[in-house]
Amino acid sequence: MYTVKLAAVVLSQPLSLFFNNCIKVGIFPAALKLARVRPLVKSTKTNDPNDYRPISLLPAISKLIQSRLMMFIKKHRLLNPCQYGFRANHSCSHALMVLTEFMRDTCDRKKYGKACFIDLKAAFDTINHKRLLSKLDSLGFRGTLNHLLESYLTDRKQFVEINKKVNNFEHLLWCSARICSGSTFVFAVF
């Protein structure tokens, strides 16, 4: 990404044309759907394989396309304003402030307020992607934008790198949290 930033002036116009073409035709380039997965130790137990989590490193250009998509999504207000995760200027603190204000207002009106918090482990892996794309279509992610998201989610590849040693490529029919975790775009949209 650093190299891309250094060459931003030279690359901005061709990259803009490239990104806009991806959106126009609804295809996320296969070369940008390759993730390098590196294990990251969670604590000090380096001899326990369960104490590692996979970190997916995506190509820098892939992240730029995701950034362009987020600008499009913001411009057309396609995200629920109450969604606080993985969005600029929307944090857990903001969500708690809104909830606190709602509960205070509810108490002031002598009513009862309720809240339910759910943290699903590997939530993204449990989503039926076809159903998700159908729902996104009904929310305004139509036509080529929906095709682009489907293209982003499908036919991905990954390889694992440990101590500069690389395994064989693994082909994935659908994007999983292991691969898309390198992308805040995916979590913001989904």
Task: Read off the pLDDT of residues 22-71 as tens digits, 9 standing for 90 and up.
Answer: 889 999 888 888 888 888 887 777 778 778 887 888 888 887 777 777 78
Give 185's pLDDT tier (boundaries 50, 70, 90).
low
What pLDDT does 9 receive? 82
What pLDDT does 27 receive? 92
Distance from C-alpha of 60 to C-alpha of 66, rounded to nearest angstrom: 10
Average pLDDT, the chain: 79
What pLDDT does 58 receive? 82
Name the residue among 186, 81, 53 with its Cα closest to residue 124.
186
Supply 147's token pair.
Answer: 């095709």
DSSP label at 49? G
Distance from C-alpha of 49 to C-alpha of 53, rounded to nearest angstrom: 9
22 or 184: which carries more pLDDT confidence?
Answer: 22
What pLDDT does 187 receive? 62
What are 36's strand-pairing partners?
57, 159
For the cut 80, the answer to whether the pLDDT of residue 16 exceeds it is: yes
91-122 pLDDT, tens digit each: 888 888 999 999 999 999 999 888 877 766 66
SS (H, E, C) 56-107: EECCHHHHHHHHHHHHHHHHCCCCCCCCCCCECCECHHHHHHHHHHHHHHHH
Total-model pTM: 0.66
